[in-house]
Amino acid sequence: MTTADSAIRPRVLSGIQPTADSFHLGNYLGALRSWVEMQETHDAFYCVVDLHAITISHDPAQLRRRSLVAAAQLLALGLDPQRCTLFVQSQVPEHPMLSWILECHTGFGEAGRMTQFKDKSAKNERVTVGLFTYPVLQAADILLYQADAVPVGEDQRQHLELVRDLAQRFNTTYGRTFTVPSPYIVKETGTIQDLAEPARKMSKSASGPSGIIDLLEEPARIRKKIKSAVTDTGREIVYDPENKPGVSNLLTIFSTLAAVPIVELQNRYEGKGYGDLKKDLAEVVADFCAPIAERTRSYLDDQAELDKILLAGAEKAHAVAARTLAHAYERIGFRQPL
Q: In the 3-class helix/strand/coil scheme, how is 33-62 assigned residue by residue? A: HHHHHHCCCCEEEEEECCCHHHHCCCCHHH
192 annotated ligand-binding residue = yes
203 annotated ligand-binding residue = yes
Catalytic pick from 118, 120, 279, 316? 120
Assess whether 204 carries a catalytic annotation: yes
Catalytic pick from 118, 123, 187, 201? 201
194 annotated ligand-binding residue = no
96 annotated ligand-binding residue = no
219 annotated ligand-binding residue = no
Residue 260 Ramachandran class (φ > 0 left, ψ -120 to 50 alpha, else beta): beta
3-state DSSP call for residue 15?
A: strand
Assess whether 224 carries a catalytic annotation: no
Is residue 20 a contact partner of residue 216, using CB atoms and an 8 Å limit?
A: no
Q: How far apart are CA 285 and CA 281, in angstroms?
A: 6
Assess whether 225 carries a catalytic annotation: no
Counting every residue written for the chain, the total comes to 338
205 annotated ligand-binding residue = yes
Which residue type, as a one-letter code, is found at position 244?
K
Catalytic pick from 123, 204, 272, 308? 204
141 annotated ligand-binding residue = yes
182 annotated ligand-binding residue = no
Q: Where are the beta strands (DSSP E) in the chain?
A: 11-16, 43-48, 84-88, 149-152, 182-185
267 annotated ligand-binding residue = no
CA angle, residues 9, 10, 14, in degrees to nearest 5: 125
User: Which residues carry a binding-site annotation?
Assistant: 17-19, 26-27, 141, 153-155, 192, 201-205
As annotated, the active-site residues are: 120, 201, 204
User: Which residues carry a binding-site annotation for L-tryptophan?
Assistant: 141
User: Which residues carry a binding-site annotation for ATP?
Assistant: 17-19, 26-27, 153-155, 192, 201-205
